[in-house]
Structure 1
């Protein structure tokens, strides 16, 4: 799934390293990148039901035996593709205000999916998550990492006094970011409606209003109300 809010089990010795571990470089890294690109190309062209290890082998130039030995299955290939997508250096916007940050996030979603190929491959990954538990787990981990990075947005907003003043960690940053992206993803992947700048601004405004009202405050951290 994409490099922003949108996404771009083998045997024990072949399982890709977990998040935060040191990644191999050189030939191994090039092989993983070639396989990742082949998986994304196959998803774009054929969708998950039409993707095969044979296709990935031919497209990537990596022998089928190697693919099975290192990734174990088609599900393992897809999971590692999502794992690679989460290794980028994307950081959430820092515009100086919560309103600006949320608007920037929303516009990133819209811009990411203007590319038909990106939309097609992302749709296929989401569809695969309904058919494969391993793909679902990988997709969930991808977004969990995105939400973790977005904690900075909530922290800065609290520090600036833009949302209810509570101790650090009292805002559910994941819920805040979901509130921005969910209306856009619904249009893109469920109703298949077009999205544009107005759609992005509308989603950001709704999330901002909810944040200011304390909708994303964790119950145990809510500031006491006056008498």
Structure 2
């Protein structure tokens, strides 16, 4: 489990084909390498992957075909920056929201605009994600815990403070870029519960209040 608070940006060193549509990625890190061990889980752009090899400040992870289909990791190239977060330890600080590292789908940057000192991003997303997205709810974008600012049927927007833009890959994103999306796990359970009660209108503040969630 992760929190969506990126610890550092690493850099892709090498991507190798493993056959049968899978591959391995070598990533250079610094801070997270201090206590990283083979078998540990690391979120790479929000994708939960297992460390299979360590050498100096470089670790290797394997990416399976299903992960390739669901994420943007297949686009990575040597030298590209990636968001890194080690899995949460018992007793650790929980500053973001519950992030499983299991990506729900790929979104696309629609726009990037300045609003005061913040950057406002608009993203398109698959319908399955949009129907579980609610204003002021949480969403993980390339592993970054963010708060949803606005939602319509096909897109949503978030505001990004200067610090987040500086220490994550989001600051490098431009319209047209693809991002990994993971919806709020609590919203998923609420949506599933409401489906069993015949709800079809998506998650809104009104129906969350009606069903006693807020």
> Shorter-chain TM-score category?
under 0.3
Higher strand share: 2
TM-score, normalization: structure 2?
A: 0.27
Larger Rg: 1
Higher helix share: 1
